[in-house]
């Protein structure tokens, strides 16, 4: 089994590329979704995150309000690092469990983890190959602002905390540029998938 990291900045088009890879037969896991599960009541990081960041991030029903949490942590690189230190370990454990199960079922399969900060956290080293998804920063802002509840100041703060694209390129085996049409992105993604299939697991 091949383990592939799929990364890129906020609203760069990772999910679109991930959906295409899934349609080709890859198992695509979204680290964000695993992180959300870890923050839910009963999740591995829930209590520790509330202790760390206080009752102000808790919603009316006692759940962690991820929007409030984002507003707190993306204003400070130190707070973001503390959040990652709490959420990252359980996310990695979940990924590894899913990868092991997939390897048993499909030893010749391709397991893909989609995550924004694989390079920044050093997690890229856990993968056989790394795909970087890129577009212009203005496109990232425009796309992110289409999301429900998006706040431009928060979006730009998040972008300012992410590693510059040129630095990320040094780590990537493949780069997919989503700044053009969807058809162009799909052509690039199909070519990357074909290259992955030629690699011996």
Residue 149 has pLDDT above 90, yes or no: no
Is residue 25 very low, low, confident or very high in pLDDT (cuts 50, 70, 90)?
very high
Q: What is the pLDDT of residue 154?
A: 83
- The pTM of the whole model exceeds 0.85: yes
**Taking all residues of the chain, what is their mean pLDDT, rounded to a whole number?**
93
75 pLDDT band, cuts 50/70/90, is: confident
For the segment 44-74, what is each residue's pLDDT rounded down to a tens digit? 999 999 999 998 999 888 899 988 998 888 7
Residue identified by tokens 């896991």 is 29
Tokens 């829930």 appear where?
A: 46
What pLDDT, on the 0 to 100 scale, is given for residue 181? 96
Mean pLDDT of 167-179: 97
What CATH number is given for 2-197 in this structure? 3.40.50.300
Q: What is the pLDDT of residue 77?
A: 82
In degrees to the nearest 10, what's the CA dihedral of 132, 137, 142, 146? 40
Residue 201, pLDDT score = 64
Q: What are the sequence ranges of the domains in the chain?
A: 2-197
User: Mind listing the pLDDT tens digit for each residue in 8-18?
Assistant: 999 999 999 99
How many residues are there in the chain?
Answer: 201
Q: DSSP strand E in the chain: where? A: 2-8, 27-30, 110-114, 129-134, 174-177
Rounded mean pLDDT of 88-92? Answer: 93
Strand, coil or helix: what is 29? Answer: strand
């Amino acid at each position: 089994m091949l383990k592939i990291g799929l990364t890129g900045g906020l609203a760069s088009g990772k999910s679109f590329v991930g959906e295409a890879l899934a349609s080709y037969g890859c198992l695509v896991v979204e680290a964000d979704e695993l992180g959300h599960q870890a923050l839910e009541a009963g999740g591995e990081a829930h209590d520790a995150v509330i202790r760390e960041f206080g009752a102000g991030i808790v919603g009316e029903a006692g759940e962690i309000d991820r929007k409030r949490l984002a507003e707190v942590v993306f204003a400070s690189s130190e707070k973001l690092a503390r959040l990652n230190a709490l959420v990252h370990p359980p996310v990695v454990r979940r990924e590894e469990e899913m990868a092991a199960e997939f390897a048993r079922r499909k030893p010749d399969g391709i397991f893909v983890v989609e995550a924004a900060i694989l390079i920044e956290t050093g997690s890229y080293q856990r993968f056989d190959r790394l795909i970087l998804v890129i577009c212009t920063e203005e496109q990232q802002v425009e796309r992110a602002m289409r999301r429900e509840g998006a706040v431009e100041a928060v979006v730009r703060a998040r972008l300012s905390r992410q590693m510059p694209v040129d630095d990320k390129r040094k780590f990537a085996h493949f780069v997919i540029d989503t700044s053009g049409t969807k058809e162009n992105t799909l052509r690039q993604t199909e070519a990357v998938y074909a290259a992955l299939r030629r690699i011996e697991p």
